[in-house]
Amino acid sequence: MAVELYNDGKHLCLSFDSLVQGSGIQSNQFLIVDNGHQAVLDPGGYLTYTPLSMEIGRRMNLKDLDYVFASHQDPDIISSLDRWLMYTDCKVVCSRLWARFLPHLVPGYQAKTIAERIIAVPDEGQAIRLGECRILAVPAHFLHSVGNFHFYDPVSKILFSGDMGASLTDDAGKAVDDFDEHVRAMEGFHRRYMTSNRACRLWANMVRAMDVEMLVPQHGRPFKGKAMVERFLDWISDLECGVDRLSQLDYVVPH
């Protein structure tokens, strides 16, 4: 189902949170529309392509899609790339670290032309024009991919945060209302998938300098309102995770 995150008549943000039931990990896909121009964020793989394209097709001519934004290279992010390239005229926005790997996700006849349709974002990030606004690809490296970007929409003031803030829940369309209770659905994932506390703190410092009204991850529930966003930033800034937790016991030859 589609959840309307923002709509002022000219600018629209939609979340699709339950397109696939019972297969794979739950994931959210997103559509941003500004003055008739459209971008899909983290569209997923083959499990989500058909239901997502059908949902989008009810709202626009799929062929006219401007962009596919990919926060990183994981299968649940961008493994349906060949179909988006075949059935739309979109450009693909991703980290320049992963741009050279994307041809591995498409058949040979597409690999010859894919380079012309990739916008390879440098490490420092980039603004991408969509209609009359600019979507910002902001650095999120090592959270959890070495080349990782989150996408900030300055009109809706939504930060689409990829795996940062992800949770394992059955009610992904509902905003977090009890942060302390919600930590239980996030903690294990973040301790394992986020590289280090240092990376988390630097990212949180960047986000605090932005005007974010909603933080919407690719899995699970969104954080709505500045107070709830700040609760998450405080929590992630203090979290011991990734390489912080390693010891020699994690590197032992198995018997």
Interval 78-133: pLDDT, tens: 888 999 999 999 999 999 999 888 888 888 888 778 888 999 999 999 999 999 99
Of 182, 193, 169, whose CA–CA distance to 242 is shortest?
193
CA distance 80 to 224: 29
Distances (CA, A) of 207 to 14, 45, 47, 179, 230: 22, 29, 32, 18, 9
| 253 is a domain residue | no
| 251 is a domain residue | no
| 101 is a domain residue | yes
Write the pLDDT tens digit of every residue in 183-224: 999 999 999 999 999 999 999 999 999 999 999 999 999 999
Long-range contacts from 106-114, C-beta under 8 angstroms, 24+ separation: 106/81, 106/82, 107/82, 110/82, 110/85, 110/86, 114/85
* CB 11 within 8 Å of CB 202: no
Torsion angles phi and psi, residue 201, rounded to 5: -65, -40
| 254 is a domain residue | no
Examine the pLDDT at 167 and tell me if it is beyond 70. Answer: yes
Residue 101, classed as helix, strand or coil, is coil
pTM assigned to the model? 0.94
| 106 is a domain residue | yes
Mean of the pLDDT values across residues 50-78? 90
pLDDT band at 26, cuts 50/70/90?
Answer: confident
pLDDT at 198: 98
Long-range contacts from 225-230, C-beta under 8 angstroms, 24+ separation: 228/175, 228/176, 228/179
Please state, as a whole number, how many other Cβ atoms lie within 10 Å of the Cβ of residue 240. Answer: 11
Assign residue 24 the CATH number of its domain.
Answer: 3.60.15.10
Examine the pLDDT at 170 and tell me if it is beyond 80. Answer: no
> Residue 151 sits in which domain range?
2-244
| 194 is a domain residue | yes
| 249 is a domain residue | no
| 252 is a domain residue | no
How many independent structural domains does the chain possess? 1
Adjacent-strand bridge partners of 129: 134
